[in-house]
Amino acid sequence: MGNADTKLHFRKAVIQLTTKTRPVEATDDAFWDQFWADTSITTQDVFALVPAAEIRAVREESPSNLATLCYKAVERLVQGADSGCPSDKERQVVLNCTRLLTRILPYIFEDADWRGFFWSTVPGAGRAGRLDDDGDDEARPLAESLLLAIANLLFCPDFTVQSHTKNSPDTAEDIQSIDSCEYIWESGVGFAHAPPLNYIHDLNRTELLKLLLTCFSEAMYLPPSSDSKNFNPWVTFFCSSENRHALPLFTSLLNVVCAYDPVGYGFPYNHLLLSDHREQLVGQALQILVVTLEHEGGSAASAALQALNTTTSTSAEEEQEPAGPDNLFVNYLSRIHREEDLSFILKGLARLLNNPLVQTYLPRSTKKIQFHQELLILFWKFCDFNKKFLFFVLKSSDVLDMLVPILFYLNDARADQSRVGLMHIGVFVLLLLSGERNFGVRLNKPYTLRVPMDIPVFTGTHADLLIVIFHKIITSGHQRLQPLFDCLLTIIVNISPYLKSLSMVSANKLLHLLEAFSTPWFLFSNPQNHHLVFFLLEVFNNIIQYQFDGNFNLVYTIIRKRNVFHHLANLPSDAASIQKAMQKKKKSGISRTNSTENESTEGSRPAAPAEPGTLKASLVATPGIDKITEKSQVGVDGTLVAVPHAESPQAGDSSAGAGASDTESNSERDAEVYYKESEAARSRLSSVSSASAWSANPDWVSSWKVKLPLQTIMRLLQVLVPQVEKICIDKGLTDESEILKFLQHGTLVGLLPVPHPILIRKYQANAGTAMWFRTYMWGVIYLRNVDPPIWYDTDIRLFEIQRI
């Protein structure tokens, strides 16, 4: 009954606030205390009892009252942080203020006039136009006071951390003088002591982190912009040296995530019997980490980008702005270097990513985590900002513990248009890894796991698994994945020089892709489609030139499908043939299914499309493959040498000396046409209509046809086909195993053209990918925070929420 009275009392206070037309004085504590001091209500109650319409009404009709409410709530948080919340009543006040601000802040951010309010130094200031009138340098902006109060409260003994002293008023710890590095939440990086689990502390931390995330979410209310100077002021301040808790908080968040084991002791169904408060905290910690690390001021990538963009700037300007504001979270992440710390992080991320793959005899008996997208973003950040971590990941086969779950998610999400973003992040991570030689080498390890995936049963390596799944994505994935085809094939090109022995299954898949992409109507449908053929030919050339000995399965498949290469070499380029091919397309329609799709699979259900009504966040278009990669040649000593862009042949050049490197969209204009379309319209086959009535013509076909790198493959066929045919006739062979045995012991030494240099396309950060990551990350966070629905029904500008 008491709880019902409390809700009623709180609701009356809200009604009073919304109906008062005159400003309520900030000194009227009796009125303002109704919202936090005399009540105890849950987060769900606050969201139910403070409706969106009423917040907006107060914002428009009584702006000074909303300003005072925010000011007073922040004031109480600051008081709580200063006092250390020694009593239960003070802790309850802090929690009530936290919940109320989490509810109100999105409505402050959605109104452009109010966005500057929290950066004002005037207590209870209203419209943005009146801000900064106060000349008092000592007064902190409200936002800074709020962020510092949250940081202090996250290391408040007996509220969010375990006290180190006996419980008595005389020995209470002074929150201003404690060294928060001694109160890190979990053992791991830089902290050996494991504090006892306390679910009350976990709940309180989760509430405060939710408010912190809401503060950072101002970015959601600004339209997409690739301006690198577009910093999030909340993140900038929180991750600066002004926050004395930056290091222990970063370490706490990271350790809580990487130490979490959702299975625990492994009792079946224990997650149904006991509520796991640590899981909520881990999810919130992950989201705070990815948001704070998204901020690019001070990151190596943005520093490099800035150096490129400011080559003409004066030295005086360079001295003033070294590389944007220094983000301590990025700084700390980039400096982690101890082997045991790197191992702890990698094992923690791998354990969590592999969690949904765990199989038991009892259905649904183990907990399945839901924050795999945030984990992939965090793994991406580590690889991008900390090269020591990237080299550590690739140093051993541990990288395969990350690869298998990524491939699992890619395969599982391929038919679900609500998970297009997940597909992109998974492919981007693999593109980043594939730029390193060690990744290709590690893929030669045999694949012995049996993860539940709807793929053909095969015996082979992790490289085979990757190729089989990429083939599945291309042939049976959702149509919106077509812009990813370039990325998928670039990854295969990058690893191809190191693949010692492909299985028959994956060899067939590669040839099937070439067969599909080299059909005349597909090549003539779009100005970019021929690049896919160039990528695949480069894969075959790399394997033949550098790994011929073990790849008899692929060589046999090339011989068996030799007509595909002959047709490519003799591709008609006259106007009549082009028109005939396009007519054929209209009659036959588009078929991307494979004739061998009925093979037995690993026993998993097929990838399913999204349920009707599923919500998804829109994404900005990703830049073209030539914008997000940088070409490097592998030297004789194994080092990478950057290939200058000027050396890349233009798509319209007729010179034949370019060979396999004509796989980028070299024409800037074509790239603009193709990659700047809206996400909804971006597909290879539908973009033709928007490319200003583009149509294939003989000159265009000839310009790239003469550069098809077919010499090596044609030489192989010229040498081996007669030998294979002779054996078949002489021995009357009908069994392919004998032919494979012959090819296994064959050699082409001295018969092939001089090996071409290995060309690797390494991922290169740019403003376009940074913008994509920002929209994707906030879209994930929006959709994952539905209880309570913090941003639901507010005027989000960064992306659109769409119902499938």
486: pLDDT strictly greater than 90 = yes
Q: pLDDT-derived band of residue 638, with 50, 70 and 90 as boundaries?
A: confident
Instruction: Look at residue 480 and give its three-state secondary structure.
Output: helix
Range scoring the smallest mean pLDDT among 419-428, 498-507, 680-689? 680-689
Q: Where do the H-state alpha helices sit in 386-419?
A: 387-395, 399-413
pLDDT at 264: 65
pLDDT at 295: 59
pLDDT in tens, 331-369: 999 999 999 999 999 999 999 999 988 755 455 556 688
Query: Contact, 406 vs 429, CB < 8 A?
Result: yes
pLDDT in tens, 363-372: 555 668 889 9
HSE-up of residue 341 (Cα within 13 Å, Cβ side): 18
Q: pLDDT-derived band of residue 704, with 50, 70 and 90 as boundaries?
A: very high
Q: Which of 402, 281, 413 is nearest to 352 (CA)?
A: 402
Summarize the chain as % helix, strand, coil (round to 5): 55, 5, 40
82: pLDDT strictly greater than 60 = yes
pLDDT in tens, 212-242: 999 999 999 999 876 656 789 999 999 999 9
Instruction: Look at residue 254 and give its three-state secondary structure.
Output: helix
Instruction: Look at residue 140 and give its three-state secondary structure.
Output: coil
Query: Contact, 771 vs 620, CB < 8 A?
Result: yes
pLDDT in tens, 70-79: 999 999 999 9
pLDDT at 26: 85
Query: Contact, 231 vs 309, CB < 8 A?
Result: no
Q: pLDDT-derived band of residue 131, with 50, 70 and 90 as boundaries?
A: very low
Instruction: Return all residues near 801 (Cβ < 8 A) that are at least 6 apart.
Output: 615, 616, 617, 618, 782, 783
Query: Contact, 371 vs 282, CB < 8 A?
Result: yes
pLDDT at 13: 87
Residue carrying the six token digits 């793994």 = 379
403: pLDDT strictly greater than 70 = yes
Find the mean pLDDT for residues 622-646.
80
Range scoring the smallest mean pLDDT among 5-19, 38-52, 286-300? 286-300
Instruction: Look at residue 789 and give its three-state secondary structure.
Output: strand
Q: What angle do CA 335, 260, 785 make, to 5 degrees?
A: 95
Q: pLDDT-derived band of residue 144, with 50, 70 and 90 as boundaries?
A: very high
Residue 601: which region, alpha, beta or left (left: phi > 0; alpha: psi -120 to 50)? beta
The residue with greater pLDDT, 694 or 431, is 431
683: pLDDT strictly greater than 50 = no
pLDDT at 314: 38
The residue with greater pLDDT, 753 or 247, is 247
pLDDT at 228: 59
543: pLDDT strictly greater than 80 = yes
pLDDT at 426: 96
Share of the chain above pLDDT 90, in %: 53
Rounded CA gap, 775 and 224, in Å?
Answer: 8
Q: β-pairing, 640-642 with 629-634?
A: antiparallel
Q: pLDDT-derived band of residue 748, with 50, 70 and 90 as boundaries?
A: confident
Query: Contact, 423 vs 484, CB < 8 A?
Result: yes
The residue with greater pLDDT, 585 or 412, is 412
Q: pLDDT-derived band of residue 166, with 50, 70 and 90 as boundaries?
A: low
Average pLDDT of the residues of the chain: 82
DSSP letters along 741-757, please? HHHHT---TTTSPPPPP
**Phi, psi (5° rounding) for residue 240?**
-100, 175
Tokens of 165: 């002293």
pLDDT at 122: 55
The residue with greater pLDDT, 447 or 599, is 447
Residue 456: which region, alpha, beta or left (left: phi > 0; alpha: psi -120 to 50)? beta
Q: pLDDT-derived band of residue 480, with 50, 70 and 90 as boundaries?
A: confident
pLDDT at 270: 53
Find the mean pLDDT for residues 677-695.
46
Q: Torsion over CA of 224, 227, 228 and 234, rounded to 10 degrees? A: -50
Whether the CA torsion 150, 151, 152, 157 is positive or negative: it is: positive
Q: Which of 202, 209, 231, 204 is nearest to 218 (CA)?
A: 231
283: pLDDT strictly greater than 90 = yes
Q: Which of 713, 708, 625 is nearest to 660 (CA)?
A: 708
pLDDT at 71: 93
Distances in Å between the alpha carbon of 756 and those of 385, 440, 715? Answer: 32, 18, 14
517: pLDDT strictly greater than 60 = yes
Tokens of 580: 């005939």
pLDDT in tens, 28-46: 888 898 898 767 789 999 9
pLDDT at 221: 95
Instruction: Look at residue 176 and give its three-state secondary structure.
Output: coil
* Exposed/middle/buried for residue 489 (C-beta within 10 Å: 0-12, 13-18, 19+): buried
Q: pLDDT-derived band of residue 176, with 50, 70 and 90 as boundaries?
A: confident
Count CB neighbours of 121 within 10 A. 19
Find the mean pLDDT for residues 629-635.
86
Q: Specify the length of the chain in residues.
A: 804
Q: pLDDT-derived band of residue 126, with 50, 70 and 90 as boundaries?
A: very low
**Phi, psi (5° rounding) for residue 167?**
-75, 100
Instruction: Look at residue 169 and give its three-state secondary structure.
Output: helix
DSSP letters along 352-372, please? HHTGGG---SSTT-S---S-H
Q: Which of 778, 440, 769, 725 is nearest to 626 (CA)?
A: 769
Instruction: Look at residue 616 and give its three-state secondary structure.
Output: strand
Rounded to a whole number of angstroms, the CA Rg of the chain reads: 30
430: pLDDT strictly greater than 50 = yes
pLDDT at 600: 47
pLDDT at 478: 85
Count CB neighbours of 399 within 10 A. 22
pLDDT at 363: 55
The residue with greater pLDDT, 511 or 140, is 511
